[in-house]
């Protein structure tokens, strides 16, 4: 799994860029908090990175 480096801003549909960084040998795990900053409205978003859930 890889962490998305950009997401769509929920406020303005701009591009929000990943702020969180980590050491190369300690990648984030599901449950880690990732911070994104929108380049258009400068809103900051903190998301909990969830592993994909199987419904079955």
- Residues in contact with Zn ion by CB under 5 A are 9, 11-12, 14, 38, 40-41, 43
Q: Which is nearer to Zn ion, 11 or 30 (CB)?
A: 11
The count of C-alpha atoms lying within 13 angstroms of the C-alpha of 35, restricted to the half-sphere facing its C-beta, is 8
Q: How far is the CB of 52 from Zn ion (least distance, A)?
A: 25
Question: Using CA atoms, how far apart are residues 12 and 16, in angstroms rounded to an integer?
Answer: 10
Q: Which is nearer to Zn ion, 12 or 49 (CB)?
A: 12
Q: How far is the CB of 42 from Zn ion (least distance, A)?
A: 7
Helices and strands: H and E segment counts in the chain: 0, 4
């Amino acid at each position: 799994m890889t962490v998305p480096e950009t997401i769509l801003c929920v406020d303005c549909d701009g591009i929000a860029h990943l702020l969180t960084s980590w050491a190369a040998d300690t990648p984030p795990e599901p449950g880690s908090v990732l911070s994104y900053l929108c380049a258009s409205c400068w809103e900051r978003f903190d998301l909990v990175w969830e592993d994909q859930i199987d419904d079955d």
